[in-house]
Structure 1
Amino acid sequence: MAGKRESARIAAREQEQAEKQRNAAGATYKELVEAHYIPWAEREKKSAAADKTRLKLHIFPVIGALTLDEVTPQVLEALRDKMVASHCRATALQVLALVRKTFNHLGRLGLHTLRNPVALVKLPRLDNACERFFTHDEFDRFLAAAGKLGNPDLHDACILAVDTGLRLGELNRLMPADVNLELGFLTVREADGKPGGVVPLNSRVRAMLQKRLLTIAPGQHIFRTTRDGDREMSRRFTRLARALGLNDGVTDRRQQLTFHSLRHTFGSWLALADVELYRIQKLMRHKTPAMVQRYAHLRPSWLASDVEVLCKPPSRPDHVAD
């Protein structure tokens, strides 16, 4: 009897699944995304507003009227090429990533059993690794200007980022419970595929956090930004950098100072102070040593002892007596 009931339940689930897929088969990509993905994103994602903007401006005009099985890799390659030509490779990647997320979400809901078409699309390669970092004079000037703004968030966020190497998203997720001023460290929670870990605090950060925590309730974030917090802080940074002329005449994105440049500055200043690459890797919470090799050329002692031997006369070989 129990076996028959279980078989009946399985049959009912399969029938329900088949009914979902039949109903979705005639619906367009736009209809399904608006009915199922967007309401979920608005409840669960801080980046819901950005998702809706990309869908409206870039994705719906190209594939919105298609059914899911009509969204082929060839169609998405055309979308990719259009985005690269009219915007940039990074925007094209963001758009394709969002298409992948929507297909995955609709699949989890049982609305299709198709292979995600983005998996068969060659993604544009990025070469936008941040190369420029703040000089000490530039940072002091930027920090002084940020301190004159009405809101202290940017000033304090810059201190935290340049002295700990925190990413912007990690900074915006910090809660008072993550900070231990007595022992001098904070805890970064793993999120978005980025490793967490314990980050030591220097005296400048500890003084800033001690003052800031006096005004923060236990359940609040340390940086009280809006739902679109990452973009808000980044926009504040960009506006002030523009006002100070820090990026005047700089067209290469890798050479422009952005909020993420503060993390790159953290690693670069450590290397210039001759901190070992292994220690920089641990402080920046990089998964592999290869990710900190970009700082190797900044270490003053890097390979210096090896080339110094060229200034010394070669030692005479020892002769073994006959």
Structure 2
Amino acid sequence: MYQRGKTWWCDFATPGGKRVRQSLGTRDRTQAQELYDKLKSERWRVDELGEQPAYTWDEACIRYLREKEGKKSLSDDVTKIKYFTGFFRGRELRSIKRDEVMNAVSKLAHQRGVTAGHNRETGKPVSDATRNRYIAFASTLFRLAANEWEWIPKAPVFKKRKEASRRIRWLKKSEAARLLAELAPHLRPIVQFALATGFRHSNIIGLEWSQVNLVKKMAWIHPDQAKAGEAIGMPLNAPAMEVLISQVGKHPRWVFTYRGEKIKQKAATGFKNALKRAGIENFRFHDLRHTWASWLVQSGVPLHVIQELGGWHSFEMVKRYAHLAPEHLREHVEMIDSQIDSGTNLSQVSLTGTEQQERKKALLGARP
């Protein structure tokens, strides 16, 4: 053992000749000695007795991040790793039980700043959807450790919470007009383009002229830019073309700019203030995509077409909009017409023949 700064490190060779050099993570010599002896003992059992190495939670997270470094949502995974590490730092991966993970998930709360491993006093409980995302991450990590890395004998099975169905938030045409009237000049074309194409915010502010063909009236999103990892080709309608033409000449590369430069982030304050002035509540920029899909559904566009245009990987995602246009169910409902005589009043079906005759006489007698 030796010190580097004030922290103790170890450097030794295993019976198999492999060199182990790592930090012992403590400034206390007694604790360092205990960990050093434990590490040497474990390495001996692995080499001489063929036991499986005792990998830690930390090692699993490091390997996960290394293997998933190209993942688009890796920053979200980092947030989850930071949270769980507050509970499992230094723990052997095989010693972590399902109930411990679920207990950590149950303590999730909305927090300011970086998510910590313990609940804060002012934290509000998060939604079941958020909890399920943390459960899904833990499930993925343990499955990798068991099935691909062979670090643990078996992955625990996690059961997700049942999520409440959420109402799809979309704008009526009159609301959209009010919003557009309140937006700043550099935000208005972005929102107009979102309503016309259903593109996500990141795809809009990152749109380059090389992705647009004004002659063929087409725009496309490359696979590495799409959330589902597949290219999206979008035929441009008249409103989208009008927006693009208004942007021509403002920048040689980027379609949407602010003060001559590429827009780097959401203008959250400007968008929020415009919503407030327009009298629109409970609305996010991403809901413009919901609005686009909702308008198409209400115009009679089939769901499978909307799925392809919007680049949704799963049809289940598009079915959220089906209730907005139930006309496709009408022919099935009207099949009952053939079972009902044209002269039959459904309100009289439960009446006997005599009762129906008496009601008819009463109605005729009441006429002037």
Q: Secondary structure at the match of 1:120?
A: coil
Deviations 1:258-291 (A, max 9, x none): 2222122112212323334454344334456665
Q: 1:186 aligns with which of 216, 219, 243?
A: 219
Counterpart position of 2:231: 196
Q: Report the TM-score when normalising by structure 2.
A: 0.57
Q: Secondary structure at the match of 2:294?
A: helix
Counterpart position of 1:241: 275
Identity of aligned residues (%): 22
Total equivalences in the alignment:
280
Rounded to whole Å, the distance in 2 between the matches of 1:156 and 1:201 is 14
Q: Secondary structure at the match of 2:245?
A: helix
1:95 aligns with 2:138: no
Q: Is the 8 A contact 2:190 2:256 kept in 1?
A: no
Q: Secondary structure at the match of 2:219?
A: strand
Counterpart position of 2:98: 73
1:67 to 1:168, Cα distance in 2 relative to 1, 3 A:
farther
Counterpart position of 1:132: 169
Q: Is the 8 A contact 1:272 1:300 kept in 2?
A: no
Rounded to whole Å, the distance in 1 between the matches of 2:65 and 2:107 is 24
Consecutive unaligned residues of structure 2, counting only runs of 5 or more, are 1-15, 23-41, 47-51, 110-123, 344-368
Q: Which has the larger radius of gyration?
A: 2
Q: Is the 8 A contact 2:208 2:255 kept in 1?
A: yes
1:264 aligns with 2:290: yes
Q: 1:29 aligns with which of 51, 57, 63?
A: 57
Q: Secondary structure at the match of 2:215?
A: coil
Rounded to whole Å, the distance in 2 between the matches of 1:298 and 1:166 is 20
Q: Report the TM-score when normalising by structure 1.
A: 0.64
Rounded to whole Å, the distance in 2 between the matches of 1:196 and 1:98 is 26
Q: Is the 8 A contact 1:234 1:258 kept in 2?
A: no
1:99 to 1:236, Cα distance in 2 relative to 1, 3 A:
farther
| Residues 92-171 of structure 1 mapped to structure 2, 5 A cutoff | 92-99=131-138, 113-114=151-152, 117=155, 120-148=157-185, 152=186, 154-171=187-204
1:204 to 1:45, Cα distance in 2 relative to 1, 3 A:
same
Consecutive unaligned residues of structure 1, counting only runs of 5 or more, are 1-13, 248-255, 316-322
Deviations 1:190-210 (A, max 9, x none): 344354332111122122223
Deviations 1:111-152 (A, max 9, x none): x623684x611122333544221011211222222235xxx2
1:221 to 1:159, Cα distance in 2 relative to 1, 3 A:
closer
Rounded to whole Å, the distance in 2 between the matches of 1:264 and 1:27 is 44
Rounded to whole Å, the distance in 2 between the matches of 1:189 and 1:68 is 38
Write the letter of the residue equivalent to 2:104: L
1:96 to 1:177, Cα distance in 2 relative to 1, 3 A:
farther
Write the letter of the residue equivalent to 1:91: T
Q: Secondary structure at the match of 1:147?
A: coil
- Give 1:304 deviation, angstroms: 5.2
Write the letter of the residue equivalent to 1:167: R
Rounded to whole Å, the distance in 1 between the matches of 2:324 and 2:330 is 12
Deviations 1:149-173 (A, max 9, x none): xxx2x43332222211223454455
Which structure has the highest helix share of the two? 1
Q: Is the 8 A contact 2:228 2:313 kept in 1?
A: no
Q: Is the 8 A contact 2:220 2:233 kept in 1?
A: yes
Q: 1:275 aligns with which of 279, 301, 313?
A: 301
- Give 1:234 deviation, angstroms: 6.4
Rounded to whole Å, the distance in 1 between the matches of 2:283 and 2:280 is 7
| Residues 14-25 of structure 1 mapped to structure 2, 5 A cutoff | none
Rounded to whole Å, the distance in 2 between the matches of 1:245 and 1:195 is 37
Rounded to whole Å, the distance in 2 between the matches of 1:15 and 1:96 is 39
Q: Is the 8 A contact 1:188 1:196 kept in 2?
A: yes
Moved more, 238-247 or 122-131: 238-247
Counterpart position of 1:210: 245
Rounded to whole Å, the distance in 1 between the matches of 2:272 and 2:86 is 30
1:291 to 1:59, Cα distance in 2 relative to 1, 3 A:
closer
1:243 to 1:50, Cα distance in 2 relative to 1, 3 A:
farther
Q: Secondary structure at the match of 1:69?
A: helix
Alignment root-mean-square deviation, CA: 4.7
Deviations 1:57-83 (A, max 9, x none): x32222224232233322212122222
